[in-house]
């Protein structure tokens, strides 16, 4: 008898190229969003440390009537992190990112003023574009001028 010609069960080169192209387009769209999500997660570490410092500062203030001036006053060590350097200044405890141009800070000197501007997001870099985008994603009020924006939480 005559057998019918069997169609190949594989994919043609064009079909494979189309699939690879579609995957490439999806990856190009998704990758930047993934990078922002990763950086937001890293920033959450600094936010957690700064909120702990803030709580310790409030307890110290209630006990002593003034704010602490160092991590040692609060009986906590300087936090160590692979992503941030933590520094105490006259008005704040700041978490400076080690590789990205942004910082997060708890401003303790302003805690007694109206509005309680506790956590700010910003940059010391002349180019504020990266910090502006990240701070906005963290919930900061970036409509305020300058290079430091309050986080609305």
Q: Which residues contact 48 (CB under 8 A, 6 or more apart)?
A: none
Q: How many domains does the chain have?
A: 1
22 belongs to a structural domain: yes
Using the predicted structure, report yes or no on whether residue 6 has a pLDDT greater than 70: no
pLDDT at residue 145, as a whole number:
78
Q: Model confidence at 113, in pLDDT bands (50, 70, 90)? A: low
Whole-number CA gyration radius for the chain? 25
What percentage of the chain exceeds 70 in pLDDT? 88
109 belongs to a structural domain: yes
pLDDT at residue 54, as a whole number:
85
What is the token pair recorded at 89? 């200044």
Mean predicted confidence (pLDDT) in 2-31? 85
Phi, psi for residue 52 in degrees, rounded to 5: -65, -45
Mean predicted confidence (pLDDT) in 42-53? 91
Find the domain containing 31 and state its range. 13-150
C-alpha to C-alpha distances, 53 to 67, 78, 103, nearest whole angstrom? 11, 10, 16
pLDDT at residue 114, as a whole number:
45
41 belongs to a structural domain: yes
pLDDT, greater one: 8 or 50: 50
Beta carbons within 10 angstroms of residue 153's beta carbon:
10
Quote the Cα angle for 7-12-14, to 5°.
150
8 belongs to a structural domain: no
């Amino acid at each position: 008898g005559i057998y019918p010609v069997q169609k190949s069960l594989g994919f043609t080169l064009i079909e494979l190229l189309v699939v690879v192209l579609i995957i490439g387009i999806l990856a190009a769209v998704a990758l930047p969003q993934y990078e922002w999500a990763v950086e937001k997660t890293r920033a959450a570490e600094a936010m957690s440390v700064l909120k702990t410092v803030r709580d310790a500062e409030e307890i110290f203030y209630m006990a002593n009537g003034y704010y602490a001036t160092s991590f040692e006053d609060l009986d906590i060590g300087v936090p160590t992190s692979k992503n941030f350097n933590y520094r105490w200044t006259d008005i704040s405890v700041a978490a400076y990112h080690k590789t990205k141009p942004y910082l997060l800070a708890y401003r303790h000197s302003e805690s007694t003023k109206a509005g309680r501007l506790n956590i700010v997001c910003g940059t010391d870099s002349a180019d504020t574009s990266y910090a502006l985008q990240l701070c906005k994603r963290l919930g900061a009020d970036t409509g305020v001028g300058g290079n430091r924006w309050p986080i609305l939480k």
